[in-house]
Amino acid sequence: QVQLVESGGGLVQAGGSLRLSCTASGRAFGSATMGWFRQAPGKEREFVARVTGRDNIPFYIDSVEGRFTISRDNAKNTVYLQMNSLKPEDTAVYYCAARSTPSGDYPYWGQGTQVTVSS
């Protein structure tokens, strides 16, 4: 069983930065694909970014490309989401997720952390 715990959310003004962290317990973190998702009020949850396991390849949705950076520290079982140039539309609950396969669903989820960007 994998448990994920996010931290680092908060309130920031537009143009500011936050770094989210997600620490995993359990085995085989280094080979897991780690993803970040978000859900804004009244909207469906959407994929934001992911980083693959051992080859460490990132991927982003267009709306965050160039502003967000996903990275991982396998020694700490932690994945990060550095968010710069934040916009009010980035306001959402951000979730960390993990899967053991290169593609497909994410079976493991964190509890979420709130990010609020004021204009």
* DSSP-derived secondary structure for 81-108: EEE-S--GGG-EEEEEEEESSSSS---E
The number of C-alpha atoms within 13 Å of 115 and in the hemisphere containing its C-beta is 31
User: Could you read off the pLDDT of 29-69 as tens digits, one per residue?
Assistant: 888 899 999 999 999 999 999 999 878 999 999 999 999 99
Tell me how far apart the alpha carbons of residues 94 and 118 are, in angstroms, rounded to a whole number: 16
Q: What is the pLDDT of residue 28?
A: 75
User: Could you read off the pLDDT of 82-117 as tens digits, one per residue?
Assistant: 999 999 999 999 999 999 887 899 999 999 999 999
Q: What is the pLDDT of residue 73?
A: 93
Strand pairing of 113-118 and 10-13? parallel
